[in-house]
């Protein structure tokens, strides 16, 4: 091999190594750099999780980092500096949900300053939490979990004016309400069904009064909704008379102690008469079924 060929190969190898070093440096700088602002203006600083943060973990500087979001793309309520979330005990925050790396830290996912992980911190402002007695039937077999949406139903016996006897009725007390906790657990990441003795739901103050009263006058049961079903029910109540049972066929008593029974088959009606000592007889042709 000539000296000229060896020199050419050496130069090619050196140039290749230089290109590899330059490309690696460029990729490393881009991978470690925060997201840059848009072309129309500077970026907005947003505090995000630097590592997975478990539910109930106190936020510390090593778990957080600041990145730049494009102008106008920062989440509403996002924090702009780590010092807003860490420091003395009275300003420390606790994660209310599991946080993934690079997930923005928002007021809805952490506790108030100096707060702790409790139920009061996750209730929507203006709403209240009320507990409902539950069992394997009323609680949908234990398949109701924190974070689900349910309807609250009440079944009781009422007296209707003019009726000879009381009637049973099932009515809606609250629709599409959020489940905050099952028994003493408010962990909305669990997926294991379990039969519970109580279910805590988030409702309005009037709904809380209605549910509390309903548990004293009848049996309260829960109905589990599909995760994406926001529709309101059109029927607010159902009575036992609406189940479709009309009772036995009417019997008309005759003066001699007998009677007439009317039997309807489709559009045809057949009358059967009977007396005190005589066997039932048919008033028109055809044997009864």
Buried b (16+ CB within 10 A) or exposed e, 47-80: bbbbeebebeebbeeebbbebbbbeeebeeebbe
228 by Cβ neighbours in 10 Å (0-12 / 13-18 / 19+) ranks as exposed
DSSP state of 134: -
Q: For residue range 176-204, list pLDDT tens digits in order.
A: 999 988 886 666 666 666 677 888 999 99
Identify the pLDDT of residue 1.
64
What tokens does 235 get?
Answer: 């029927």
Return d(Cα 36, Cα 70) in angstroms, integer. Answer: 7
Identify the pLDDT of residue 248.
52
Give the mean pLDDT of the chain: 77
Identify the pLDDT of residue 212.
92
Question: According to CATH, what is the number of the domain 35-117?
Answer: 3.90.1210.10
Secondary structure (3-state) at 217: helix
Return d(Cα 267, Cα 163) in angstroms, integer. Answer: 30
Strand-pair category, 44-49 with 64-69: antiparallel
Please report, for the chain, the start and end positions of each structural domain, with discontinuous segments joined by +: 1-33, 35-117, 127-243, 251-282
Buried b (16+ CB within 10 A) or exposed e, 104-114: bbbeebbbeee
Return d(Cα 245, Cα 149) in angstroms, integer. Answer: 33
pLDDT (tens, 9 = 90+) of the chain, 289 residues, equals: 677 788 888 888 888 888 888 888 777 765 554 444 333 346 789 999 999 988 778 888 888 999 998 888 888 888 888 888 887 777 778 887 788 899 999 888 887 776 655 667 677 888 999 999 887 777 777 788 888 899 999 999 888 777 777 888 899 999 999 998 888 666 666 666 667 788 899 999 999 999 999 999 999 998 888 878 888 777 778 887 777 765 555 555 555 555 666 666 655 666 666 655 444 444 444 444 4
């Amino acid at each position: 091999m000539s000296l000229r060929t060896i020199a050419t190969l050496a130069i090619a190898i050196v140039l290749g190594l230089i290109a590899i070093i330059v490309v690696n440096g460029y990729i490393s700088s881009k991978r470690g750099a925060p997201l840059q602002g848009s072309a129309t203006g500077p970026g907005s600083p947003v505090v995000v999780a630097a590592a997975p943060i478990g539910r109930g973990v106190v936020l510390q500087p090593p778990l957080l980092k600041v990145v730049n979001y494009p102008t106008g793309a920062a989440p509403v309520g996002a924090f702009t500096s780590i010092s807003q979330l860490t420091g003395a005990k009275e300003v420390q925050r606790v994660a209310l949900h599991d946080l993934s790396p690079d997930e923005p830290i928002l007021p809805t996912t952490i506790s108030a300053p100096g707060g702790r992980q409790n139920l009061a911190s996750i209730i929507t402002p203006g709403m209240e939490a009320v507990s409902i007695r539950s069992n394997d039937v009323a609680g949908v077999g234990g398949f109701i979990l924190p974070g689900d949406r349910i309807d609250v139903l009440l079944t009781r016996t009422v007296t209707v004016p003019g009726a000879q006897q009381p009637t049973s009725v099932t009515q809606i007390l609250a629709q599409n309400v959020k489940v905050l906790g099952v028994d003493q657990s408010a962990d909305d990441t669990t997926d294991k069904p379990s039969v519970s003795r109580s279910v805590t739901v988030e409702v309005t103050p009037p709904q809380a009064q209605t549910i509390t009263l309903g548990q004293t006058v009848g049996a309260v049961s829960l109905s589990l909704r599909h995760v994406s079903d926001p529709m309101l029910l059109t029927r607010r109540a159902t009575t036992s008379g609406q189940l479709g049972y009309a009772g036995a066929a009417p019997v008309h008593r005759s003066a001699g102690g007998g009677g007439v029974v009317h039997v309807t088959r489709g559009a045809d009606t057949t009358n059967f008469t009977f007396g005190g000592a005589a066997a039932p007889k048919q008033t028109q042709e055809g044997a009864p079924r």
